[in-house]
Amino acid sequence: MNTDLIIGILNIVLISTTPLVFAGIGELVTEKSGVLNLGLEGLMLVGAVTGFITLVLTGNYFYSLFFSIISGVILSGIFAFLVLNLMTNQIATGLALTIFGIGLSAMLGKKFSGTPIEGLNPYFFILISFLLVFLVSYFLSKTKSGLIIRAVGENHNSAYALGYNVIKTRYMTIIFGGVMSSIAGFYISICYAPMWQEGMTAGRGWIALALVVFATWKPWRLLVGAYIFGGVAIMQMNLQAIGVKLPGQFFNMMPYLATIIVLVFISSNKLRLKLSAPASLNISFEKNQ
Amino acid sequence: MISIKLREEYSNLIFYLSPLVAVFLTLFFGSFIFLILDLSPIESFKIFFISPISNSYGISELFVKATPLAIIALGLSYCFKNNIYNIGAEGQLTMGAIFGGGIGILFNDSTSIFLLPFMILFGAIGGAFWATIPAILKTKFNTNEILTSLMLTYVALFILDYFVVGPWKDPAGYGLPKSVPFPDAGRLPVLFDGLRIHIGVYFALIICFISYIVYNKTLFGFKLRVSGLSSKASQYAGFKYKNLIFYTFIISGACAGLAGLFEVSGPIGLLYRDISPNYGFTAIIVAFLGRLNPIGIILSSLLIALTYLGAEDAQLFLKIPSAVGFVFQGLVLFFLLGTDFLNKYKVSIS
């Protein structure tokens, strides 16, 4: 193999993995505070479509990113209100958010499907994604606010008894996760593709969720996991290029199969999973018990 | 001052009334969507919810859409009651279509009356087989079933794609990614000439009836309810929780596979890429909206089927994308979950 090819492959891996890092790190923070948000796929799609439409209408990348983020704040805010104030089932509410997001993005984007745009250079966001992992890791382990988030995620009743505002903390982490997902969506439709197509995130939101489990809720492991995953996803193209004879569909299903295999590998150590998962994950906090 | 108190007694009335409240709230907010799109809400609702079922063809189509939704949702209710989140019904449906439809393609010159029963059987087996995978991974390796069942959906869709562009492609199909049509012996009988409503409706009703009996009259149904409320209690009672996970996955997979086979051997008549307009995912909403109650699921499947028809008409007459149907489905689930608050808490203003 020559160096050009290797650099080329690394470049593709970098570009294609970044949305997983954004969505994954956002969800990691949300889950650290004890909330499971299964709505990533919907958040990403709506983020992607609002960014795209804004860019087509205004031609301004800043506005495009801004409105994409706003869409994430609004949608994750609704999710937060339901699971925190109305104490709804987090799994069902997340699914509702995904279905709603799939529908909303398809409805809004119909007119714009196929409109050509000039893509944005992805390297700035790639850099940010690395920085973000560093910041989140530092924030969670070294700052007081990070400690409060972890306390709320481990035992919300104790955290509440100590005087921390569980609901407010969780609002913050849910909205942070929502914003990160919508940035991931923005990146896909503006930098990576660049275009809009119905359902274009192709399950990346779910893969990001799997990555959080794979990372056992640790930011740096999430980064490593995302890149292993991105590498596997890209390997399919190269295997095809080298001339491995298999129908294309079998290469296409590799990322999903890889996710399952990795999950099995991580989860089979029951104790380790139990020790690293936030203890209050997916449990509603009821103040007036 | 608004005061919120935990209810001491569970209110059955509110439990069954809240889906209706959710539907009304959805319609209320839906009218804003129409207003934003610069359409008259009343006219739009007429096109969305009334005109699709104003003739016999429309009513038949309503049942054509409601049948797969009801069958899948009835199956899912077993999982959800047990607090197991199988959200890969779309993949199980696809696998059912591949297994059952495959029989129809391999025995394409058959005129035997046994062909259709075999296709139905293999459809159910295909769906159950695909659901067994997350069940094994959950029970043996403690793997999250939400993620695995969903990932398997993508895998199943690629497998279907492989068959319809590869080995099962119709040689006389002008290169289109579709299989040969199933023989007449492999087509699901319709109930009335000229309409698409088929005998799958009877299957949905039978499954509904059986589920009602299972939930209310059998030990298995009791075990499901107990372990759904508290998996610890069920373990103390000596119920084998792992077996329950297995059974519920297999039941829901078989139902989804059956629905997939009914789709391809009923309205479609062959295999191709887009056999299901997200029935597997929408059925999750149907199950919740029907309160995991067999009769409730039949009713909610009809309502959600109407959003499919309405969305098609809206695309035709109002020129809005049919995805608006999914927006309504998402909204209805949001509101349903939200109104659940009233089941648990008493809100009073003083």
The one-letter amino acid at B13: L
The secondary structure of residue B190, as a DSSP letter, is B
CB B144 within 8 A of CB B134: no
**CB-based burial label for B184 (10 Å; 0-12, 13-18, 19+):** exposed
Residue A1 pLDDT > 60, yes or no?
no
- In the prediction, which pLDDT does A288 show? 57
- In the prediction, which pLDDT does B350 show? 65
Residue B349, strand partner residues: B2
Residues B183-205: what's their mean pLDDT? 92
**Cross-chain CB nearest to B150 (options A198, A206, A289):** A206
Residues A192-197: what's their mean pLDDT? 89
Cβ of A289 within 8 Å of Cβ of B281? The answer is no
For chain A, report the end-to-end CA distance as a whole number of angstroms: 64
Name the residue in chain B with its Cα closest to that of A251: B158
- In the prediction, which pLDDT does B30 show? 85
Residues B201-210: what's their mean pLDDT? 96
Residue B205, strand partner residues: none
Tokens 């497998």 belong to B159
Orientation angle between helical segments B241-263 and B200-217, nearest 10 degrees: 160
**CB-based burial label for A86 (10 Å; 0-12, 13-18, 19+):** middle
Which residue of A95, A214, A257 is the best one to mutate when testing the B interface, meaning the one whose CB has the most B CBs within 10 A?
Answer: A95
Residue B2, strand partner residues: B349
Residue B37 pLDDT > 70, yes or no?
yes
A57 touches chain B (CB under 8 A): no
All domains of chain A in start order, with CATH = 3-276 (1.10.3470)
CB B23 within 8 A of CB B303: yes
Instruction: For chain B, give every domain's residue range.
Output: 2-349
More reliable by pLDDT, A233 or A152? A152
Mean of per-residue pLDDT scores for chain A: 89
The secondary structure of residue B272, as a DSSP letter, is B
**Separation between Cα atoms, residue B212 and residue B224, nearest integer Å:** 13
The strand ranges marked E within chain B are: 2-6, 345-349
CATH topology of domain B2-349: ABC transporter involved in vitamin B12 uptake, BtuC (1.10.3470)
- In the prediction, which pLDDT does A17 show? 92
Residues B98-118: what's their mean pLDDT? 93
The model's confidence at residue B339, banded by pLDDT at 50, 70 and 90, is confident
CB B342 within 8 A of CB B14: yes
**Separation between Cα atoms, residue B343 and residue B12, nearest integer Å:** 8
ipTM: 0.87
Which H helix or E strand runs over A14? Answer: helix A3-32
Tokens 């990070």 belong to A146
**Separation between Cα atoms, residue A267 and residue A263, nearest integer Å:** 6
**Separation between Cα atoms, residue B90 and residue A102, nearest integer Å:** 15
- In the prediction, which pLDDT does A271 show? 75
**Separation between Cα atoms, residue B287 and residue B56, nearest integer Å:** 27
Cβ of B5 within 8 Å of Cβ of A103? The answer is no
Which stretches within B166-230 are classed as H helix?
200-217, 219-229
Nearest Cα residue to A43 out of A181, A183, A202: A181
pLDDT digit string, tens, across residues B215-251? 999 999 988 888 877 777 777 777 788 888 999 999 9
Nearest Cα residue to B67 out of B322, B323, B297, B333: B297
List of chain A residues whose C-beta atoms are within 8 Å of the C-beta of residue B341:
86-88
CB B199 within 8 A of CB B191: yes
Residue A239 pLDDT > 80, yes or no?
no
**Separation between Cα atoms, residue B159 and residue B157, nearest integer Å:** 5
CB B95 within 8 A of CB B156: yes
Residue A289 pLDDT > 50, yes or no?
no
Among A18-32, B247-261, B305-319, where is mean pLDDT lowest? B305-319
Nearest Cα residue to B26 out of B339, B248, B350: B339
List of chain B residues whose C-beta atoms are within 8 Å of the C-beta of residue A268:
140-143
Name the residue in chain A with its Cα closest to that of B333: A96
Q: How far is CA B232 from CA A146, A167, B241, in A?
A: 33, 28, 9
Residues B257-277: what's their mean pLDDT? 93
More reliable by pLDDT, A287 or A31? A31
